[in-house]
Structure 1
Amino acid sequence: MATIIPLSEGSFTIGKDKIFHPFNHAEDDLQQRATGSLLVEVQPFCIVTERDVLLIDTGLGFSQQGELQIHRNLKANGIQPADVTKVLMSHLHKDHAGGVSYKDRLGNAHLAFPNATYFVQRREYDFAEATGYPSFITDEFEVFDRHPRVFWLHDDEGSIDNYIHYQVTGAHSPYHQVFWIETAEGLIFFGGDDAPQHKQMLSRFVAKYDHDGKKCMELRQQWWDKGSADGWTFLFYHDISHPYLKP
């Protein structure tokens, strides 16, 4: 039986400056934030299967007292960072890739999950390196280059260990990819920022911040219809109220 563990890093607003500003629901007023600011959760996922301890995306990479927040969140659920066996990266925007690595006191970079294999789309890495700030913080993932624990994905779709399927959509970003994970209870689907919130699955919404907003909208509708009929469990990285659900 697969166990899904949301690893919420909190709520944030993000506007044209592309900076994630913490948002306290009890104290803050969205109307007081910059015009056009979006309210989002930042929420990686751990999925424990019979075969793996999977981590899907790695959050903002914030630290407290020298410890990555994603490490603390895993430990709070009884999982040590060294227990993670696979890290699946949808894309490398800073709110998804911030926790892939950390630097020691000497400034040397290390993978944050030392026993895991990281599955990264090579074209996404090259694009991120060429594009840089503010969408990408390249210092955080340059450790990937030539690292033996990084498995580069080159194809538009394929499988990992015959039970994880990936597909490059090119919708939210040019080389964004999504994942389906086969479990005894059915498929778990992670749409990353192509399908970040439950409410977006239910409306014909075209976002200006997407590389191809129309394609995102069409894919969300296709996935929701297919997943609703086939009993998928959807994971929502940026949803305040619904980390995951089965329609």
Structure 2
Amino acid sequence: MKIHTIGTGLFKLDGGAMFGVVPKSMWQKLNPPDANNMCTWAMRCLLIEDAGRLLLIDNGIGEKQDEKFRGHFHLHGDDTLEKSLRKLGFTSADVTDVFLTHLHFDHCGGSVQRRPDGALQVAFPNATYWSNEAHWDWAVTPNPREKASFLKENILPIQESGQLQFVDVAAGVPSRLASFREIIMADGHTEKMMVPVLDYKGRTLAFMADLLPSTGHIPLPYVMGYDTRPLVTMTEKEAVLRRAADENWVLLLEHDATHEACTVQHTDKGVRLAETLRLADL
């Protein structure tokens, strides 16, 4: 097995929204904001080469949105999904499976692209797309709070392509996703977000998605204002962080603009950051 981080660019979100009830005087030490209170975040994905398959976990915002939309989030940086794949010698046609932790636009927007004639089509023509039924239903009939994050143009073309499959965690990890040791379901950020866990080079890796966006979110009260059930997030995050500290997991960070990954440790203040690292260092 080989695992690579895939950069898809940077974007900005309001610092207060990213840290919820935590005062700016505290979170700005971790993520300094610009004059508009916006902080820079990564959209870092994961590519797994294993047993003849090429599995992509999440895929960023994509490039089909108009300039007005892109301006809201100040997309910047040199990386794109296609450029990052090409650096590794791959194209979108080589991807066999696309695993979507959840369907918010900054995690699944690259699933679908716009053709020159304006029509939408899946960006990975030979891939099976993986979600789960409960989250899919939640996304296609969104609540008012999350409606702006679940964009139909990112979601419905996947189903229309016939390439969509659902994970049933109760039945075990599907054979096509055998790279994963387990899939942790989390309901605090959104309904049935999936956090994949895998073994790699003698270590346990967890791709944390929005359960732990960055190292700055390790303390339990540091929960995003975007989360639909913040108290549930705290409980879920605590459980995973305890396991990670007990077993020396490597936590892969999707939104941390500086750090690809980290480990955590038990302290008298609770679980805290132990060290940051790069996947390539394993």
Which residue of 2 is the match for residue 106 of structure 1?
117
- 2:64–2:113 Cα contact (<8 Å) kept: no
The residue identity in structure 2 corresponding to 1:221 is: E
Q: Which stretch shows the higher mean deviation, 169-178 or 41-50?
A: 41-50
1:26 is matched with which residue? none
CA distance in 1, matches of 2:232, 2:113: 34
State the secondary structure of the residue aligned to 2:9.
coil
Q: Deviations over 1:55-81 (max 9, x none)?
A: 1111011269xxx93112211232211
Distance 1:167 1:127 in 2: 18
Partner of 1:95: 106
User: Equivalent of 2:166, from 123, 129, 152?
Assistant: 152
SS in 1 for 2:226: coil
Contact 1:12 1:42 in 2 (8 A): no
Give the TM-score taking structure 2 as reference length: 0.72
**Larger relative contact order (C-alpha < 8 A, sep ≥ 6)?**
2
Q: Which runs of 5+ in 1 are unaligned?
A: 19-28
Matched with 1:125 is 136
AA aligned opposite 2:208: G
Query: Deviation of residue 179 (structure 1)?
Result: 1.0
Q: Which one has a larger percent helix, Structure 1 or Structure 2?
A: 2
Cα deviation digits, residues 135-182 of structure 1 (max 9, x gap): 111112211225332112245673132442223211101221211123
User: Residue 180 of structure 1 contacts residue 189 of structure 1 at CA under 8 Å; is this kept in 2?
Assistant: yes
Shift of 1:239: 0.5
Distance across 2 between alignment mates of 1:207 and 1:80: 34
Shift of 1:5: 1.9
Match of 1:33 in 2: 36
Q: CA deviation at 1:30?
A: 2.3
Within 5 Å, give how 1:151-170 maps onto structure 2: 151-155=165-169, 158-161=172-175, 162-164=178-180, 165-170=182-187
Deviation at 1:86, TM superposition (A): 1.5
Determine if contact 1:157/1:168 at 8 Å carries over to the other structure: no
**Alpha-carbon RMSD:** 2.8
Count of residue pairs the alignment pairs up = 232
Report the CA distance between 1:218 and its aligned residue. 2.5
**Is 2:6–2:85's contact at 8 Å kept on the other side of the alignment?**
no
Relative to structure 1, is the Cα distance of residues 150 and 96 closer, same or farther in structure 2, using a 3 angstrom cutoff? same
Aligned partners of 2:101 and 2:195 also within 8 Å = yes
Give distance in 2, aligned partners of 1:190 and 1:221: 16
Map 1:192-231 to 2 at 5 A.
192-231=209-248
In 1, Cα distance between the equivalents of 2:168 and 2:51?
27
Shift of 1:17: 9.8
> Where does structure 1 differ by over 4 angstroms across 4 or more consecutive aligned residues?
15-18, 154-157
| Alpha-carbon distance in structure 2 between the residues aligned to 1:156 and 1:146 | 26
Q: Please report how far the alpha carbon of residue 15 of structure 1 lies from its aligned counterpart in structure 2 after TM superposition.
A: 6.7
Say whether the 8 Å CA contact 1:2–1:184 is kept in structure 2: no
1:237 to 254, 265, 268: 254
Partner AA of 1:201 in structure 2: I
Gaps of 5+ in 2: 19-31, 66-78, 265-282
Residues 187-196 or 202-211, more deviating: 202-211
